[in-house]
Structure formats: C-alpha cells, structure tokens
Structure 1
C-alpha cells in the first residue's frame, strides 16, 4: 500500500458517485466500524456506494462480510489472475458460494496479467491464468452476474478468451488502461470500461484519447484504492473519497462537465450492478 505521502485532501463534493472498484481491506478496513469510517469519509464528498473487490479467498470472504456490515458496500468475488494457481476444487467451490451471495454484484477481479509472470515469486503462469479466466467466465454466466476483468499487457488474449468462451451479458474492464484501438473494440462489443486515477496521470495520453470514444452507458468510475491515487496525489494512499478527483479528470479529458460524468457513471453502475 502506498505510504510515502500523506493522505490526499478531501475533494470538493460531487454527487452522486459510485466507486465501482475498490479494496476496502487493503485500505485498512477490517471490521464493521472501520468499514463505516471509510464509507463516512466517502459519503461526505458524494461517494455514497462502493464495490469492494477480492483478489484472493480471504479478500473474497471479507468483501462479502463488509457488504453485509454496511448497506453502502457491495462485493465482487474472484481469484486474481496472478493467483490463479490456487484454484483448487475447494477454492472454486468457496468462490462460487460467495459469488452467489445476494450482496455480491460481480465476479471479479479475474482476467490475465502478463506483467508479473517471471517477476513475482509464486505468480501463476500464463497457462494457469487462462484456465482460471475461463472458469471465472463460466461462473459469471452461471450466477448471472457481471464479469469484472483485470487486464495487464494482455489485450489480445483477453479478447480472444472472451470470444472463445462466449462473454457473459455484462463485461467490465476494471481500471481500463489501454489505448483507443482497444477501447473501440470493447465499445463495439458492448463492454463497460471503468476509469481510475490513471486517467489523470500526465503521461496517460493514449488513455485519455481512448476515454473520448466511450459513450454514456459504457463507462464507470473507480478508485482501485489504495492504489492509483489521482494526480496531484500520485503515490499517496488512495481511498474511495478520492473518486471526485478522477471524475473531474475524466470530464476534462472528454470535454464534459464533472456533473454529467458523475451522473452517467452512476447510472451505469446502478444498471450493471443492479444497485
């Protein structure tokens, strides 16, 4: 978790907003009181609801528990692609049980990550990631919930696996970070692109070009907290209350008002997550 800079200032309120992808456990929340504290800060600036997302089994259990502790919290459950090598039958059964919980609104985050294999000890190999991705796609279709994708350096293969398996009704590309060509393909396929603080980074020129191609009804806003804190607080710990910074950055990139961006992203979150 980023800790080398103090926490960002509270932004000017912007409502209504839904943080479509965050990690409350990695933000330091561990019980009902600490979850409520994070949500109180978020709500004070207009972020009234969040989806807290799992990347391993413990995080999946926490996500569902947090969603039952606080009505402002919803869960997404899966095993992160870099950990796909832990997907035993027992783990799959538990993830499926958690995915079927009424407070779980998506299967995620799953997908492919080609950055970490060979760099991170214990990281799942590409073949294991593909197998895990295929299983999560099938799970999303069986439970009737959106598929939330983590895609790092794997544009072609993510699209190929989705095509091969048959995509679920709703596909969300969390923290979309590709360029205009990938955005166009995803938009044409009807996928939903979720934008994080990276859209505010000074070097994210292609991402901002991509954002201009995404119409209403196909974009979300997320923090991916505690990571990817928006400019000018990059490197500081992120939290759901920082989402207005990203909303305003996306508005600037697309020539829209922040209020229009917030309203559109919130309407899309309500529709795809059935909030």
Structure 2
C-alpha cells in the first residue's frame, strides 16, 4: 500500500514548502517499518521527496535483510545510492549465533557494487548493547573501517553513548578519507574535534527538538563544507512532527531550522549540503537527478 497519514503514525499528508535548491537525504532506511506502520512504498517515498527538492537519497541497509533490500533498491531507482554494513547492535547477535564471519563475507561481496557508496552504518552503541557485547562491537567497527579504506568507500558512523571510544578507534585505525558522523549527537567540543580531523557531520531532525540546545551549539562550530543533513527515517521526525514516522519529504523542515541556527539563507545551506554530499558519495548518475537552479 502507498504510505499515507493513516498508515504511518503521524506522518503529515501535506508536504512542506519545497527547497530552492535540491539536496540529499544522507541517511534513510526505506526497508524499516516502525511497529504498527504500513511498509513504505519506495516509489512513492521518492516521489514525495522529489516534490520538495530532496532528489537524492542514501538508502542504508544495516542487517542482512536490509542489505538485500538495498541492493535491489539501488538497481531499480536512480535517485538512490546505497550504504551497507552490520549495525553495531546486530553484530553481537550474529556472533552469538555463530554467523558473524558469513555475514562479513556478505557485506564485503556486495560492497564492491558501484552504487554502494557507503560502508555503514557501523560504529558503537553502548545504549542497547550491554558490556558483554562491547568487544565484538569494537572488532566489527575496526573491520568495517578497514573495508571502507580497502574499497575507497565513504563510511557512516553510528555513535550512541560511545563518543570517546568512537573517536579513539578512528584515530587508532586511521579514518577513511570520507568519514561521516551519522545523526551527530555530540557536543560543541566533539564537533570541533571532528572538524579538525576532517570528518563530516550529518544532522537529523533531532537538531530541531526544543531540548537540543547542545546539538545546535555544536552545529555552529561546523564549516559549511562539512555539513550534511538526513532523516534516519522512519525515526527522528523533525519538529513539529516529533514522535511521528519520519520520511525524506520532511528534510526541508530540518534544513530551514539549521539555516536559522547558522544564520545563513536557505539556498546557501542547500547548495552546501548538495555539494558536500556529492563530494562524499560521488554523483548519483551521469546527469544530476532533478537539479534546480
């Protein structure tokens, strides 16, 4: 079924005003459905995003089913490029089942595909995985870093309650040339360190939340050539839709909030996000999809 307001919790029927310059949703999970929601119709999700100037998406698959979905989706839809990895919360489950080595082989086999531009999301999550899962998470993070560098791919990092260890492991292993802190959740000090290291910081709808002052302060420390935007859909819908199912067509709300924090005009931020995205991931196609003046 096509997603609509009654099929996705709180997802608005009306689209926000289109952006003046097309941008990229740097991280979306079209394969994931929140409990109680209808599955996304991929073509409709892309159509709605295009209507508001979100013409390119990075579809991220972070378990074996999600990887299979991503490989199919990027073949069918020129608006999509892919990211694949084993999510840090997935790694301990695979290790306990004795299938982690086989799962690594699946990631590596598909990661060579030309339209897989990202190894990720990988990293550390100390919120959902207890201390017993930390060693294998760290080993998996190092494995994904090595894969990204061997294949010359960008890397997207999941970091939840693990800032210090994420930065330490990146320093120890040597970060890939294009390293993105997906759904950045650090403070001003961490943002400055990431900028010094040359990382890109991607902001989701959380930057619009009333209680996210530290995150907005962090945004002010980031030069325009290091800023990205994402949904992490179906999660983290921006205000005023916090708690609803998220979708790529809500990116304009986050962009406009970010432009206000940065005290710049919306076209300047859109242009920077678009250029940064293609610097990190390469072009979506020989001719840009739906670029506006």
TM-score bracket relative to the smaller structure: over 0.9
String of CA shifts for 1:148-200, please: whole Å, max 9, x gaps.
Answer: 10001111100110111111111100000111000000000000000110110
In 2, Cα distance between the equivalents of 1:135 and 1:99? 13
Among 1, 19, 26, the alignment partner of 1:20 is 26
Structure 2 residue matching 1:226: 3-state secondary structure: coil
Deviation larger for 178-187 or 3-12: 3-12
4+ residue runs over 2 A deviation:
2-9, 27-30
Contact residue 64 and residue 74 of structure 1 kept, 8 A: no
Deviation larger for 250-259 or 220-229: 250-259
Q: Structure 2 regions of 5+ residues with no counterpart? A: 1-6, 284-293
Partner of 2:231: 223
Structure 1 residue matching 2:256: 3-state secondary structure: helix
In 2, Cα distance between the equivalents of 1:124 and 1:11? 44
Shift of 1:255: 0.7
Structure 1 residue matching 2:89: 3-state secondary structure: helix
Among 100, 122, 131, the alignment partner of 1:110 is 122
Partner of 2:113: 101
Deviation larger for 42-51 or 109-118: 109-118
The correspondence of residues 139-218 of structure 1 with structure 2, limited to 5 A, is: 139-218=147-226
2:141 maps to 1:136: no
Partner of 1:60: 67
Structure 2 residue matching 1:194: 3-state secondary structure: strand
String of CA shifts for 1:188-213, please: whole Å, max 9, x gaps.
Answer: 00000001101100000010000001
2:285 maps to 1:273: no
Q: Does the C-alpha gap of structure 1 residues 8 and 152 become closer, same or farther in structure 2, counting only changes over 3 Å?
A: farther
Q: Structure 1 regions of 5+ residues with no counterpart? A: none
Shift of 1:8: 5.8
In 1, Cα distance between the equivalents of 2:209 and 2:8? 19
Contact residue 81 and residue 124 of structure 1 kept, 8 A: no
Q: Does the C-alpha gap of structure 1 residues 184 and 246 become closer, same or farther in structure 2, counting only changes over 3 Å?
A: same
CA RMSD of aligned residues (A): 1.6
In 1, Cα distance between the equivalents of 2:282 and 2:22? 16
Partner of 2:44: 37
TM, length-normalised to structure 2: 0.88
String of CA shifts for 1:65-116, please: whole Å, max 9, x gaps.
Answer: 1011110011000010011122622111110111111110100000001111
Structure 1 residue matching 2:166: 3-state secondary structure: helix
Shift of 1:3: 5.1
The alignment covers a number of residue pairs equal to 267
2:81 maps to 1:69: no
TM, length-normalised to structure 1: 0.93
Shift of 1:29: 5.3
